[in-house]
Structure 1
Amino acid sequence: MEMLIYAGVVLTLGGVALLVYCILQAAKARKSGGTEDEIRVRLQKVIALNLVALMISAIGLGAVTIGSILS
């Protein structure tokens, strides 16, 4: 079960890193200027990536929890 815990930790950290990337991209999109529609399009792409990052983190945390319970 240790492998499940380690895999969960890797997934969780990867998801958190992706969340930080999303935050930086959103800040960059807002600072870049442009019209409101251009900013909205950029932020919509970031939102999709943000949801993927949250799902990866949730799966990783679930794996850690299950691995801890079964250990």
Structure 2
Amino acid sequence: MELLVWIGAGISVIGLIGIVWSIFAVARARKAGLDDDALRARMSRILPINIGALLLSILGLLLVLVGVILT
């Protein structure tokens, strides 16, 4: 079950990288000085990536939890 912990940690790190990327993408979009419609369009492209990264992070942490409980 130790392998399950390491796999979960890896998935969680991938999700964390996606969350950090989306934070920087939103910051770049705000600094670009876009009008309201263009900013909304860019945010609507970033939002699914952010939600997917959050889901990956949660699933990875759940795998770590299951691996620790089963060990």
TM-score by length of 1: 0.96
Counterpart of 1:50 in structure 2 is: 50
Q: Which residue of 1 aligns with 2:41?
A: 41
Please identify, of 32-41 and 19-28, the stretch whose mean Cα deviation from structure 2 is larger.
32-41
| % same residue | 35
User: What's the counterpart of residue 17 of structure 1?
Assistant: 17
Deviation for aligned residue 1:45: 1.1
Gaps of 5+ in 1: none
Point out 4+ residue stretches in structure 1 off by more than 2 angstroms: none
In 2, the alpha carbon distance for the partners of 1:47 and 1:69 equals 33
> CA RMSD of the aligned region, Å?
0.6
TM-score by length of 2: 0.96
